[in-house]
Amino acid sequence: MVFNRGQAVFNRGQVNSSTTNRSRTREPVANTRTGPSTGAQRQGLQMEEARPGRSRWVRVATCLALASGAPAGMSGQAAADPTEARARIADLGAYIESSFADWGFPGLAVAVVYQDEVIFAEGFGVRELGRPDSVDAGTLFQIGSVSKSFAAAAIGALVDDGLAGWDDPVVRHVPWFQVRDPWVTRNMTIRDLLSHRSGIPEDSYPVLAVTTAREAAERVRFLENQAPFRQSYRYSNQGYGLAGLVVEAVTGKRWGEWVRDRLFAPLKMHESAASPHEVWDSAHVATAFLGTAPAGGASIDDAPGRNVAMPHGVARDGSRRILAWQSYDSMQGAGSIVASAAELANWLRLHLAEGVFAGERVLGEATVREMHRPQIAIEQPSLFGDGEANGTGPPTGYGLGWTTGWFEGRRQLSHGGGIFGFPAWIALLPEIGAGVAVLANGSLWTPYYPHQEIGALVFARLLGAEERDWHGVVMERTARIEETVRDALAARDAARIPNTAPSLPLADYAGVWEHLHGGRAHVEIGPAGALRVHFGAPGSFSGEMEHWHHDVFQLYFDGGDGQAYASAFVTFTVGPAGRADRMDMGILGIYRRAEP
């Protein structure tokens, strides 16, 4: 559907809305979609060197106005100042409300900044389904991999202080670290970690078991599928976890303490946190990312006095369920931060002002520019960007904690975050001093489409660019993905072999299983008579196995949002001696039966 801009116009004036919510009385329709997650630099406008401040943005906007042609029916000029910018997005709240049910989120929070002012900050919907508590701009969400921009900045503060350099070898600061190739071990730099060009492969075990950050990093030396070093982009949460350990080694502080002291405090992000354990009693947090809360679940009632949103996922029967917050403390720099839209607005302002917030320098100008500079080319354009995928613009890239791309010919910086039930997305158009943060609390397996829809609408309005049917594009793309998922699941179901049985009694699959790179999983017969797997400590991964065919079982997660991915499969191999001696959990790892 297309929103009619004449439907509602709001004159908000200066926004100061940590308690603003536009959908207090209604809850969105539960979303029961299920399906798997899908997943060169161009010289832009030369900005005049100047001390950060509004006059700088006015000069930039003037340059853009002179350089841009005006599409039919539009001014073709960027908003001259925050007052004009605010007027251009006066109906943003009504637009969001009109699209809200289609997106299927319980709640949503959005902040927009322009030329160092917050021009919009509101919440929509509810913090927890079945409850009347409204989301507002101050509601706390986990922001997932948006944390990577903070992790890069935490290293940047070390660079500013002369304590480390972007091109320092990692082993200079954490000498115990190694990958399988000794030459790569010696030459891998901090820049390689932060730009995802290290080639470090992913390891699922740290998101299944309760491990420390160092234990997770030490496992990298066993991993065999190292990508070519510095030759391609390979997204690595392990690399960012290691970057957090560099911070700790250099400063002697915990990573979260450094982030609070050097970033949160000067940015007045007083409610933000470096870990969900700082917000909740640990009994209500899933200790491992794919684990469960030791208390068995969580509700906003379990965080008294805190303005928190609850993540929502999909249950085994396809219904919507409330999830616990999920710890990523085994790789903190990759995804552990908690923030609100209102406080993320300060983060956007810092980057748009190249390191200055409220007149105080927090990060060096050169440091921020280096974070924003593409370090390696990637094929990951945003939905409405000028990426090479649609042949209309230059390639996208990855900087240090930011994806770099283009929107309407202007450089765009962005990053998404994918904690289960907490999709997050932030974006900047530095040339005009504009930024957007969008946080939600519902499962999302399309790549941040609603978030990018909001961002595209805002940026187009602020640029004076011709608008498109942003919502129509998002819904059409979503329908296309849904169809692909349905076809894939139908093909999978058609390949299931009927009327088979496991080779052995279920009890013969039970026991202790050892990961190829260390660590153990436990398979048992559950109370319902089905096989269950868990990883030992309270809060670790657990799930139930349902027979599929032969020695293959479908795995249903107790925690996380595994059902949104149609779950996973476990394949046992029975050896020549008639004993199950291998358990293949797909992307969750390969295990051999542990010897007594």
Query: Among the listed ranges 116-120, 174-178, 289-293, which one has the minimum average pLDDT value?
Result: 289-293
pLDDT of residue 336: 96
516 has pLDDT over 80: yes
53-62, 218-227, 586-595 — most confident range: 586-595
Q: Report residue 388's pLDDT band, with 50, 70 and 90 as the boundaries.
A: very low
Q: 100 with 128: CB under 8 angstroms?
A: no
Q: 201 with 226: CB under 8 angstroms?
A: yes
4 has pLDDT over 70: no
238 has pLDDT over 70: yes
Mean pLDDT of 401-410: 93
Q: Report residue 224's pLDDT band, with 50, 70 and 90 as the boundaries.
A: confident
Q: Report residue 76's pLDDT band, with 50, 70 and 90 as the boundaries.
A: confident
86-90, 318-322, 470-474 — most confident range: 86-90
> DSSP for 46-105?
PPPP--SSHHHHHHHHHHHHHH-PPPTTS--S--SSHHHHHHHTTTHHHHHHHHHHHHT-
Q: Which pair of tokens denotes residue 62? A: 């003037």
Percent of the chain clearing pLDDT 90 (strictly above): 72
198 has pLDDT over 80: yes
Helix (H, G, I), strand (E, B) or coil at 466: coil
pLDDT of residue 303: 95
Q: Report residue 8's pLDDT band, with 50, 70 and 90 as the boundaries.
A: very low
Average pLDDT, the chain: 85
Q: Report residue 578's pLDDT band, with 50, 70 and 90 as the boundaries.
A: very high
281 has pLDDT over 70: yes
pLDDT of residue 563: 63
Q: Please count the residues of the chain.
A: 596
Q: Report residue 234's pLDDT band, with 50, 70 and 90 as the boundaries.
A: very high
- pTM of the predicted model as reported, rounded to 2 decimal places: 0.86
Query: Among the listed ranges 94-98, 169-173, 441-445, which one has the minimum average pLDDT value?
Result: 441-445
Q: Which residue is associated with the tokens 């942003």?
A: 470
Q: 402 with 348: CB under 8 angstroms?
A: no
Q: 27 with 39: CB under 8 angstroms?
A: no
| Cβ neighbourhood burial of 587 (10 Å; 0-12, 13-18, 19+) | exposed
pLDDT of residue 305: 93
Q: How far, in Å, CA of 368 to CA of 352, rounded? A: 9
Instruction: Map out the domains of the chain with their CATH numbers.
Output: 1-22+58-139+370-495 (no CATH), 166-247 (no CATH), 506-593 (2.40.128.600)
- To 10 degrees, the CA torsion angle through 137, 303, 126, 445? 90
16 has pLDDT over 50: no
pLDDT of residue 363: 98
Query: Among the listed ranges 34-43, 384-393, 425-434, 552-561, which one has the minimum average pLDDT value?
Result: 34-43
Mean pLDDT of 97-107: 93
313-334 residue pLDDT tens: 988 888 889 999 999 999 999 9
Integer-rounded Cα radius of gyration of the chain: 24
Q: 73 with 82: CB under 8 angstroms?
A: no
506 has pLDDT over 90: yes
13 has pLDDT over 50: no
Q: 580 with 532: CB under 8 angstroms?
A: no
566 has pLDDT over 80: no
Mean pLDDT of 361-381: 93
Going through 420-491 in order, the beta strands assigned E by DSSP cover: 422-429, 434-440
pLDDT of residue 444: 67
pLDDT of residue 18: 35
pLDDT of residue 14: 30
pLDDT of residue 154: 98
The helices-and-strands tally (H runs, E runs) of the chain is 16, 24
H or E element: which one contains 159? helix 147-160
